[in-house]
Amino acid sequence: MNTGTTDEPQSALETRGLEPVPDAGRTARTRELFPTWVAANISVLLLTMGASLVVAYKLNFWQAIVVAVAAPVLSYGLVGLIGIAGKRGGAPGMALSRAVFGQRGNLLPGSLIWVARWGWETINAVTGAYAVLTVLDILFGIKSNTFLIIVTLAVFVVITFAISGLGIHVVQKCNKYATFLFGAFSILVLVYLVMNTDWSAVFHQPAGKTSLMVAGTGMIAAGGVSWIPSAPDFARYLPRNASAKAIVGNSIGGAGIVVLPMVLMGAVMAVSTPDLASAADPVSFLGEILPMWIAVPYLLIALVGMLLINSMSMYSAGFTAQTLGFKIPRHWAVSVNALISLIFGGVLMLVATSFMGSFIAFLSLLAVAFSAWVGVFGADMLRRTEYDAKALLDTTRTSAYWYKGGFSPAAVIAWAIGLVGGLMFTKSDWFTGPLSGNNPVGEYGLGWVATIVISGLLYVVLPKPPVVAAEPSEANEASDPAKSPETLAV
């Protein structure tokens, strides 16, 4: 994939920031999205969430299968749909969002999404550090202590910063290799579980409530929902004539091929090891359940997955920081999130008493925070098929996306009401909305769905500024997508 301008195609460092990619530089293929979303899900936390379906949600194996299929289809279907905006505008998601909310209005959802990313990156950094500590314990008998926690967390964050700072070319290349490695060792773990699991106990688990089955789908889908605003970031190098169907299909397929087996493995493991769902350390249990010759390489590969997940998140966070007014190059904007995840990660590892409790509570609120933006931006995509590159970068009153005082009233109002409405239906260990019980939305854990519906419908019915026609640029005129060869076969 070409990640820079056309005159520096071999550079490992991506220097492009918020500015849209010219047509001549859009040489990516839709099939490259498949390993991208595979890598975004290489997380042992999926095992723990799969265990939670059995232990906390009381679901049986067959219900877990339905959840493990439905969650990635729903969440990464939305990832793929919003990713279409990336090939339309060639810019990061939060830059394109300026066309919807206005130059100043975009600061509101942008700030919330940026802060939410701090939590997501912190969770992943902590999980990666736990993986290192577990390997040290298995191989050398070195027990965790405060100094070792700080060192492993710092090393993890520094490596993450290095990968994400270099840009999309390096991230995509790492994703490709990690996909093959993780796939091979996942098959090995699956074979081991098939041969060493008491399947009679697995299949005799009683069925759980339908409401908890839907809520479990939402819990697992929340991770995918958090990637939706970032979807255009990884699709911006696609040509304008890229297949929308292929973008959605590769997004769902890449995520699903990881989520389904990981969640099911966790559900199977929980039958014999129910403590897995509530472990204070979400990684060390692998060293107890699996033999060392499988556990160690699997943990190391999972560590690589955590690095890539955080690298992808920080890569997008760098763009978000730029849209918030940080006047620094993208690769340095990444450092802000790296420092924050280091500080918060240390607090979580040294102070928090329940990792999974904190994680699931965070997921429920994370999904709502991102969904408010998704509802408005997605509804806007129904009427907007192109973006004005000049207006996206012009943050002054002369911008075509300035609207009223820098705000698009329809978008900001719909976003704010959708956010508040969704929170009212949400229940977690940290927050309980007044409408979270005694109704299907609250009972089924559909606060994030309510957020998308409320914000999206409000935006559709509210009066909006007219769509700004994109001004043709020299870069775009130099490469007519209608005349370019089809390079996007799946």
Complete DSSP assignment for 283-295: TTHHHHHS-HHHH
The average pLDDT across 396-406 equals 94
- 476, pLDDT greater than 60: no
Please tell me the predicted confidence (pLDDT) of residue 390: 93
Contact 30, 239 (CB under 8 A): no
Q: Round the CA-based radius of gyration of the chain to a whole number and report it.
A: 22
- 156, pLDDT greater than 50: yes
Q: 26-356 falls under which CATH superfamily?
A: Hydantoin permease (1.10.4160.10)
| Sign of the CA dihedral with 330 first, then 332, 333, and 335 last | positive
- What is the per-residue pLDDT across 132-152, written as a single tens digit (0 to 9) for each? 888 888 888 888 788 888 888
Q: How far is CA 427 from the centre of its chain?
A: 21
- 260, pLDDT greater than 90: yes
Q: What is the residue-averaged pLDDT of the chain?
A: 82
Please tell me the predicted confidence (pLDDT) of residue 2: 36
Query: Which carries the bigger pLDDT value, residue 425 or residue 355?
Result: 425
CA distance 266 to 50: 4
Please tell me the predicted confidence (pLDDT) of residue 412: 97
Please tell me the predicted confidence (pLDDT) of residue 330: 65
Segments making up each domain of the chain, as ranges: 26-356
- 365, pLDDT greater than 90: no
- Describe the crossing of helices 146-166 and 107-140 by its angle, rounded to 10 degrees: 130
The average pLDDT across 22-51 equals 88
| Sign of the CA dihedral with 49 first, then 54, 55, and 57 last | positive
High-pLDDT (> 70) share of the chain, %: 85
Please tell me the predicted confidence (pLDDT) of residue 150: 84
Would you give the DSSP letter of residue 6?
A: T
pTM: 0.84
Q: Which of 108-117, 334-343, 462-471 has the lowest mean pLDDT?
A: 334-343
Please tell me the predicted confidence (pLDDT) of residue 428: 75
Q: Choose the most confident range, by mean pLDDT, from 41-50, 133-142, 221-230, 448-457.
A: 448-457
Please tell me the predicted confidence (pLDDT) of residue 43: 80
CA distance 179 to 160: 17
- 488, pLDDT greater than 60: no
The average pLDDT across 398-417 equals 96
Please tell me the predicted confidence (pLDDT) of residue 159: 83
Q: CA-based angle 13:14:17, to the nearest 5?
A: 145
Amino acid at 164: S
Contact 470, 386 (CB under 8 A): yes
The average pLDDT across 457-465 equals 95
- Among 305, 306, 335, residue whose Cα is nearest residue 318: 335
Amino acid at 181: L
- Describe the crossing of helices 168-196 and 292-323 by its angle, rounded to 10 degrees: 150
With cut-offs at 50, 70 and 90, classify the pLDDT of residue 478.
very low
Q: What's the longest Cα–Cα distance across the chain?
A: 69
The average pLDDT across 77-105 equals 96
Query: Which carries the bigger pLDDT value, residue 161 or residue 411?
Result: 411
CA distance 287 to 135: 8
With cut-offs at 50, 70 and 90, classify the pLDDT of residue 8.
very low
- Among 83, 102, 20, 118, residue whose Cα is nearest residue 321: 118
Phi/psi class of residue 325: alpha, beta or left (left: φ > 0; alpha: ψ in -120 to 50)? Answer: left
CA distances from 472 to 6, 23, 469, 476, 477 (A): 19, 11, 9, 7, 7
Q: Where are the beta strands (DSSP E) in 285-390?
A: none
